[in-house]
Each structure stands twice: as C-alpha cells, then as structure tokens.
C-alpha cells in the first residue's frame, strides 16, 4: 500500500492542530481551576486603595444603583444578611445585564467588614475599575461593576453622625 506523501503530511498536520487545540483547552481549564484570589489594580499593584471621604462607624450598608441593570439610578438595596446579584430568578438582586451571570457576585459581612465576592462569573466583577478574583473587603463609596451595571457601596451612619 503506497500512501500519498501529501495525504500523510495533511494527516500529521491535522493531528498537530488537534493536539494544540486540546493543550489550549487544558491550560484554560487549569487556569480557571487555580483561580487567583487577588484584586487587580489599586496602588502599586497591591489591590489596596485610598478611601475618598473616609466615612466609618456604620452599623449597616446599602448598594446604590448608579447605572444599568434595569435598576433605577439612586435605588437603594439593603445589605442586611447579605445579597446575591445576577440575572437569575434566584438572585436576591435581579439585574438585566447581558454580561451578568445567573448568580454573578455576592455582598456579605464577616464580623464588622463587608465583602464583595465574585461567584466565578464568566465576564468578571470589577471593584473600583480593577478586576476582582475571589473576594475583597468593601470600603465606603466603592463601586462594583457587573458588565454595564454599576452599584456603589455606601455605609449607613448612625444617628450621632460619626464619621
């Protein structure tokens, strides 16, 4: 059986492209499984940022709709007990943003600190313009962006006006 050299070369080229494709898929899956837990951006690449205004001493907090997501600008969302944000009917805060995942992120407390956590969303969650991987603490007036939707985190001050 004599094989045509061009046919053999095409078979090996096809196998090479197939293996290259599988390698790219495997690397992508491995990267997603490892998942970095740092916040990109911030001062000097640390993920930390200065707080403008610097209000503190809150007992509660809200998210304020800035734009997008089918929410009315200025609409306030109470964070008592934590909330999930996404397109799904199961999300506590349902947004209509084509870049949002079903359950895209969540905002919750641990001790006296509020955190935002990306729930392995497809298009990512951004905190003050930097991509969020995992979770990060929230400071007063931080902005959370999900696709075209922007929500601002605001502390609710007590009646004494501390801060």
Q: What is the pLDDT of residue 80?
A: 85
Q: From residue 120, how far is each of 105, 106, 123, 124, 125 by CA, in Å?
A: 8, 11, 9, 7, 9
Residue 127: which residues within 8 A CB-CB, separation 6 or more?
39, 116, 136, 138, 142, 143, 144, 145
d(CA 145, CA 129): 8
Q: What is the pLDDT of residue 115?
A: 94
Contact (CB, 8 A) for 20 and 27: no
Nearest to 95 by CA among 115, 66, 117: 66
Q: What is the pLDDT of residue 112?
A: 83
Bridge partners, 127 (sequence order):
130, 144
Can you tell me which residue has the tokens 């990306």?
Answer: 118
Q: What is the pLDDT of residue 81?
A: 85
- Strand ranges, E, within the chain: 58-67, 76-78, 83-86, 93-94, 105-110, 113-118, 125-127, 130-132, 135-137, 143-146, 149-157
Q: Return per-residue pLDDT of the chain as tens, 163 residues.
A: 567 889 999 999 999 999 999 999 988 888 777 654 444 444 455 555 555 555 444 568 999 999 988 999 999 999 888 999 999 999 999 999 888 999 999 999 988 889 999 998 989 999 999 999 889 999 999 999 999 999 999 988 765 444 4
Q: What is the pLDDT of residue 53?
A: 52
d(CA 21, CA 33): 19
18, burial (CB in 10 Å: exposed 0-12, middle 13-18, buried 19+): exposed
């Amino acid at each position: 059986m004599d094989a045509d050299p061009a046919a053999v070369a095409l078979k090996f080229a096809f196998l090479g492209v197939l293996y290259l494709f599988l390698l790219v898929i495997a690397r992508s899956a491995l990267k997603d499984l490892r998942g970095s837990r740092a916040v990109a951006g911030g001062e000097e690449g640390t993920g930390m940022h200065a707080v403008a205004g610097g209000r503190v001493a809150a007992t509660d907090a809200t998210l304020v709709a800035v734009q997008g997501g089918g929410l009315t600008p200025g609409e306030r969302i109470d964070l008592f007990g934590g909330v999930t944000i996404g397109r799904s009917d199961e999300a506590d805060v349902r947004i209509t943003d084509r870049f949002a995942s079903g359950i895209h992120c969540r905002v919750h407390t641990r001790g006296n600190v509020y955190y935002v956590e990306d729930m392995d969303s497809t298009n990512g969650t951004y905190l003050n313009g930097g991509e969020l991987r995992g979770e990060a603490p929230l400071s007063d007036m931080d902005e959370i962006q999900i696709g075209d939707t922007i929500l601002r985190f605001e502390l609710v001050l007590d009646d004494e006006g501390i801060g």
